[in-house]
Structures are given as structure tokens and as C-alpha cells.
Amino acid sequence: MELQDSIEIVRNIGQTRAKQLNKMGIETVEDLIEYFPRSYEDRSKLTSLDAVNIGEVNNFRARVCTKPESMRVKALTIVKARLSDGKGSIEGVWYNQPYIKNMLIPEKEYIFTGKVVEKYGRVQAENPDFEPVRENSLNMGRIVPVYTVPSKMSQKTIRGCVKDALDGVHSEITEFMPESIISERKLCGRSYAVNNIHFPESDYAFFKARRRLVFEELLMLQMHLLQLKGNVTGKKSAVRIRDYDVRPILDSLGFKLTQAQENVIGELFADLRKGNVMNRLIQGDVGSGKTAVAMVLAYTVIRNGYQAVLMAPTDVLANQHYKNISEVFGTLGIKCTLLTSGLRRKEKNTAYSDISEGKSQMIIGTHALIQETVEYNSLGLVITDEQHRFGVRQRESLAKKGKDPHVLVMTATPIPRTLALILYGDLDISIIDSFPPGRQKIDTFAVDHSYYRRLYAFVKKEVAKGRQAYIICPMIEENDNTELRSVLTYTQELKDSIFPELRVECIHGKMKNDEKQEIMELFEKGDIDVLVSTTVIEVGIDVPNATLMIIENAERFGLSALHQLRGRVGRGSEKSYCVLVSDAKNKTSLERLKTMCRTNDGFVISEKDLELRGPGDFFGTRQHGLPEMKIANLYKDIDVLKEAQQTAISLYKTDENLKKEENKLLKTRISQLFEQKIKKICL
């Protein structure tokens, strides 16, 4: 048997089973032995029958001491047999499995595993699985693997197939990890790992096997990403920056940059000075001042004769950026253009020609920026704001509009650095790790609906002080008319009976752009006291006079959305508050709310989010285009991930292309893995 043989060579796999397995992506013997168990059952410890644990699964060795009898009770066929191990006895009961009667041979010894219950004063083993006593059983008396199986295949069958495959290719499962890494990281050998991940000899063997395989998987992924990044970062840029005089823009910003902002700008300029294409991610918590950093960079690129574009995920945010940036850039003689799908035909056409003729130098907009009709004159810099809303694809299509422009990506979804390295493996990372001065902690409270009266009084008090408030109502589907109606009704109620003396308005995703913009302008000017909103304001909006954020049905938002929403207040020097209203009782929701009350730190929140949701959900797996992991879990295996990253980085430093003799096998393995992936995706 060979690794690349079709699985039909395995005993007990005929055409039918092969087809079923093919559907799960298992085609070769190698695929099969790398099809790792979903979980395990510890059947290694046998219980004697005078000491069974009622209500739990027990494993025991026993003799069949009565001839199994079968009876019918209504529609049920019941098979019963008395089982004994010398110390005690128990009744085995099987429902609707009439064939058991002939399978169990009186006086013969078996190993059983099944739940033991007490019914009508009798202790019974319910539907226990069993097997004659034998050496080296795959199913009994050991830690047993449990696989995700095709619907018509039993665990026993697949265990047998995997075992047959493992034995068949035993000598072919060879080591490809360099000896130095194995000893440095104290890894077990590959053959041991593969055998013990399926049929662990002991807990310890399982632990060693899993750690080795997780390390291997993460190392290869990380190495691959480093190599990809190497291909991008080496690239010379055609965008030449000679003039770095940023005094004019710094003088026009209206504030002094924080040390953290200056540091990041320093990193950006260092990229530009190298003459290579910049590919950088800026991470900075909500309100840390990413926009100002982007503006300084854009200003520099523009002063050197190029265009810069900024793409935002929503119209509202694009409008806000346009307003703020054109205010500053206008005084510096830089022409800004807004391009969103909401513009009128005529406005759009003017925008197109201004952009293609190079009249406009700073272009701000939404997805409309990557439409085919848009032609840029001399694109030098592409910035995407709130990156987690865009896929890698969109970032690329924007960059393709120019000739290798510099790329800057901004995100407020802080992720642990280790994960960022994986998810944004092709980007360099800068972090804005402090806030502009004068920011205060946003006090956060979780309350239920019985607090309404006090809450409304609080709103009035804040407004009386000259402040403004947001009330967020969740609308999970922006198309859901019932939910929209309830937001509108609620707004009306607030206007008519709860806050008759206040100026209350509503903004939601179904409004026309002009309407949205008008409302936002009124709110910014302070002409609206209370803004009721669906989540259109989730990202980016900046109105420093707003000090109170009320989130209704807070249990319906994820942690990072809550954090984003809360980030809409606490942007000025006044004390700000966030109130999470929820009647939810379930554990995860409560934990989310508790986390919000406890901390304002985006990193802590995102780690918690990751823990509660798992990385798949967290990022939307499809968006970031990561290969699916066979065994590693990016959250649980964070420690191994760190080790794998360190190893990958030092490996990359000493032997970038894995040309050295000792690294050759690893290299082959990595390229096989990722080429296979690509082939599968293309098919």
C-alpha cells in the first residue's frame, strides 16, 4: 500500500464507501490517515460490576450468563441478557436491535461500553456496545477515536479502515521536520504522532501526538505566509516619495499628535523611504486617532504628486471622512472628491472626470471606488478603513486600480498579535497603543427593562447639561420591515410621550443617503438631542459632544459590535456613559455584558470575543481566505501557535526559501500542501 493509492485499496472500502468518503475530501490513503478524530472516548478504564456508576457510561468486562431473549412491547423489540463478572451482575438491554440476540453467545466474555441506569429498581446497561475480548482491540478497553463519519458508516467501520491504512503504509510515514526543530521543540516523531492521534496508547501519548501535529500544521501555515509576504514586500515601488515635510498638515490638524500616532507615522515613513511597496495594517482601538495618521500619510503622498484614496465601509462613514478631511485639506489647497453609490448621476460623472484627469487628489468613498468605471490618474496610496468589513479581495481590487500603490489598512478590531500574524500574514503591523489626552473611561452598566424610568431621567439630565445621546435598536436584518417599524414606533413614542421637550430623531439603513447625511449633520451641530439609530452608526462616527450611549436588546450584539458602538461616546473631554439594556438570561449573553462593564480595553474584549465565539465566527472564515485547519485550533492552541511562529521566523531568517539540505523535506511538504489546496479551490 502507498500513501497516494486510492482508498479503495484499504480493506473494507469498496466502491460505495469510497464514494462516501470521497465526498468528505478523502481520496487517498494519505487523506485517510490524516483524517483526524473529532473526539475521543476513554474506554481504557474498566469498572467492576459491583461498582458501576449509575447515570454514566461504564466500561466493563463480563460474561453472558443467560441466553439472550427477545420480546416485543408494543412497537419495540427488546433484547435482554444477564451479564456477570464474578463480582456483580447487570442486565444488558437493547432496544430495536433484534440481531443482538444472535450476536451474543452465552458463556462467552465480552467488553461492554454503555450508559448504566436504574429503572424500577433494576440496574441496566442500555444499548451497550460490545466486542469479544481480544488483544489490541480498536473499539474497547482503550482510548477510542470518534470520527465525523458519512451517514451510513459506523464508528467501528471507519476505525477499522483507518487502522488498516495506518498499518498498510507504516513504513511510509516518514519524518520531514528538520532534526534541529524536533529537538528544540521536543516534538515526537511523525509516525508516532500519526498513529497515536488515531489510537492513543495513553493520555500522554495523545498529548504528545496532538502537540506535534498542531505544531506542524501551524509551522507550515506560518512559513507559507512569511514566504508570501516576502514576495510582496520585496517589491520596488514606482511611487517615489522625496518630500517628507509634514509641518503644514500637522499645523492644520488642530491638535498635537500623540506619541503613539507619531511612532506609527515614523513606521509608515520608514516603509516609504525603503522604496518598497508598503503593505501595512494599523491597529488601534476605537477612538485612538487612526484617521489623523492616515491623513498625514495621504498628505505626504499627495504632495509628492500622487493621488490617495480612502475607502470606508458605509456611506455615513465616508461622508464623515469627506467632511473632516476636506476641511483640513481644503485649507492646504488639496482638492478632495467624494464618491459613493448614493451620488446623483451628474455628481458621479463630475467625480469620475476629476479623478481620471487628476484634478482631485484625495478621493474618499465606499465600494463605489472599485467600480470599473473609475479610472485613477496617478494612484499612489490606497487606504481602507475598518478593514474587518472588507475582504482581502476588495483591498486587492482597489490596489489594482493603480500601479503598485502603497496600501494602508486600518482596523479597530484589535486582535491578539499572534493571530494578526496569521490573519494578516501578508501585512506589516503597526499599533496605536494609547489614546489622545483627556479621554476618560466610559462607565458602563448593564440593566434590565425595569430600569427604564431611571434611564429616561438620566437621558434628560445629560441633555440638560448640553450633551447628546444615542439610543441603538438592533436590527439584525436591514430588510426586516417589522423590526424597522418597531424602531420607528419607538422613536415616535420617545418624541410624543417620553421626551416631548427634547429633539429626537431616527436614522436607519433604509433611509436615502441625503436623509442620512442631513440627520448626521443636525446631530453633529447639536440640533438633535437624542438620536435613535439602528447599527448604521456602528463604525467610525465621531461626535464628541455625545456622552450617552444606550443599547437596547444588547444581547443581540456581539462583543466587538458592542465595543464599536460604545466607542461612539467618550470622544471628548466630558465623562461618558454606556448603558446596555437587556433581559437576557443565557450564560454567554450575560458573560458578554459583564465583560463590557468590566473593561474598556479593546484587546481584552477581542480576546474574550474569540474565546466565546471561536476564531471561525470571529473573522468570518471565508473572508480572510485562510485554509481550513485539520487539527489546530487558533484559540485553544495559542501557546503552540506562538512557538510555531518563533520557529517559522527564525527558519525564515536563516533559510528563507528552505534551500538547505535539512529543510528540503519540509519545503516539499509545504508546497504540496498549499498546491493541493489551490488545486482543490480551483476545481
Contact 158, 139 (CB under 8 A): no
- If the CB atoms of residues 258 and 647 are measured against ligand ADP, the closer one turns out to be 258
The site for ligand ADP (CB under 6 A) is made up of 255-258, 261, 284, 286-292, 412, 436, 542, 544, 571
CB of 288 to ligand ADP, least distance (A): 4
C-alpha cell at position 215: 505544531
- If the CB atoms of residues 214 and 286 are measured against ligand ADP, the closer one turns out to be 286
Contact 108, 102 (CB under 8 A): no
Strands 39-42 and 143-146: antiparallel
377 half-sphere exposure, CB direction, 13 A CA radius: 18
CB of 267 to ligand ADP, least distance (A): 16
Q: Which does 288 bind (CB under 5 to 8 A by kind): ligand ADP, Mg ion, none?
A: ligand ADP
- Nearest CA to 102 out of 129, 123, 81 is that of 81
Contact 439, 570 (CB under 8 A): yes
- If the CB atoms of residues 128 and 284 are measured against ligand ADP, the closer one turns out to be 284
Q: Which does 114 bind (CB under 5 to 8 A by kind): ligand ADP, Mg ion, none?
A: none
CB of 385 to Mg ion, least distance (A): 6
Q: DSSP per residue over 594-609, as a string?
A: HHHHH---HHHHHHHH
Number of CB atoms found within 10 A of residue 148's CB:
11
- If the CB atoms of residues 291 and 300 are measured against Mg ion, the closer one turns out to be 291
- If the CB atoms of residues 205 and 412 are measured against ligand ADP, the closer one turns out to be 412
- If the CB atoms of residues 90 and 546 are measured against ligand ADP, the closer one turns out to be 546
C-alpha cell at position 523: 446631530
Cβ neighbours for 453, distance < 8 A, ≥ 6 positions apart: none
Q: Which does 474 bind (CB under 5 to 8 A by kind): Mg ion, ligand ADP, none?
A: none
Q: Which does 542 bind (CB under 5 to 8 A by kind): ligand ADP, Mg ion, none?
A: ligand ADP
- If the CB atoms of residues 114 and 289 are measured against ligand ADP, the closer one turns out to be 289
Q: Which does 200 bind (CB under 5 to 8 A by kind): ligand ADP, Mg ion, none?
A: none
Q: Which does 258 bind (CB under 5 to 8 A by kind): Mg ion, ligand ADP, none?
A: ligand ADP
Q: Which does 532 bind (CB under 5 to 8 A by kind): ligand ADP, Mg ion, none?
A: none
Q: Which does 286 bind (CB under 5 to 8 A by kind): ligand ADP, Mg ion, none?
A: ligand ADP
- If the CB atoms of residues 159 and 571 are measured against ligand ADP, the closer one turns out to be 571
Q: Which does 289 bind (CB under 5 to 8 A by kind): ligand ADP, Mg ion, none?
A: ligand ADP
Alpha helices in 332-366 (DSSP H): 345-357
Sheet holding 279-284, edge to edge: 336-339, 362-365, 307-311, 379-384, 406-411, 279-284, 428-432
Distance CA 602, CA 612 (A): 15
- Nearest CA to 78 out of 54, 60, 103, 100 is that of 100
- Nearest CA to 49 out of 142, 133, 124, 127 is that of 124
Strand blocks (E) in 25-152:
39-42, 57-64, 69-73, 76-84, 89-95, 109-119, 122-132, 143-146
Contact 378, 247 (CB under 8 A): no
Residue number with the shortest CB distance to Mg ion?
Answer: 540
Q: Which does 292 bind (CB under 5 to 8 A by kind): Mg ion, ligand ADP, none?
A: ligand ADP
Q: DSSP per residue over 198-250, as a string?
A: HS-SSHHHHHHHHHHHHHHHHHHHHHHHHHHHHHHHTPBPS--------HHHH
- If the CB atoms of residues 261 and 589 are measured against Mg ion, the closer one turns out to be 261
Q: Which does 255 bind (CB under 5 to 8 A by kind): ligand ADP, Mg ion, none?
A: ligand ADP
Please give the single-letter amino acid code of residue 236.
K
- Nearest CA to 224 out of 662, 644, 681, 557 is that of 644
- If the CB atoms of residues 196 and 261 are measured against ligand ADP, the closer one turns out to be 261
CB of 591 to ligand ADP, least distance (A): 25
Residue number with the shortest CB distance to ligand ADP?
Answer: 289
CB of 668 to Mg ion, least distance (A): 45
CB of 290 to ligand ADP, least distance (A): 4
Distance CA 525, CA 339 (A): 24
Distance CA 205, CA 223 (A): 27
CB of 398 to ligand ADP, least distance (A): 19
CB of 520 to ligand ADP, least distance (A): 14
Q: Which does 436 bind (CB under 5 to 8 A by kind): ligand ADP, Mg ion, none?
A: ligand ADP
- If the CB atoms of residues 261 and 491 are measured against ligand ADP, the closer one turns out to be 261
Distance CA 212, CA 192 (A): 10
Place of cell 439630565: 461
Contact 157, 125 (CB under 8 A): no
The site for Mg ion (CB under 5 A) is made up of 540
Distance CA 667, CA 660 (A): 10
Q: Which does 449 bind (CB under 5 to 8 A by kind): ligand ADP, Mg ion, none?
A: none
CB of 232 to ligand ADP, least distance (A): 25
Place of cell 436504574: 118
Distance CA 432, CA 602 (A): 12
Q: Which does 430 bind (CB under 5 to 8 A by kind): Mg ion, ligand ADP, none?
A: none
CB of 387 to Mg ion, least distance (A): 11
- If the CB atoms of residues 30 and 385 are measured against ligand ADP, the closer one turns out to be 385
Q: Which does 544 bind (CB under 5 to 8 A by kind): ligand ADP, Mg ion, none?
A: ligand ADP
Strands 76-84 and 69-73: antiparallel
- If the CB atoms of residues 94 and 557 are measured against ligand ADP, the closer one turns out to be 557
CB of 157 to Mg ion, least distance (A): 55
- If the CB atoms of residues 540 and 570 are measured against Mg ion, the closer one turns out to be 540
- If the CB atoms of residues 157 and 324 are measured against ligand ADP, the closer one turns out to be 324
Distance CA 407, CA 682 (A): 27
CB of 254 to ligand ADP, least distance (A): 7
Q: Which does 95 bind (CB under 5 to 8 A by kind): Mg ion, ligand ADP, none?
A: none
CB of 257 to ligand ADP, least distance (A): 5
CB of 433 to ligand ADP, least distance (A): 12
CB of 291 to ligand ADP, least distance (A): 3
Name the β-bridge partners of 188.
none
Task: Using DSSP, state whether 357 is helix, strand or coil.
Answer: helix
CB of 572 to ligand ADP, least distance (A): 8
- Nearest CA to 214 out of 658, 636, 503, 649 is that of 636
- If the CB atoms of residues 405 and 540 are measured against Mg ion, the closer one turns out to be 540
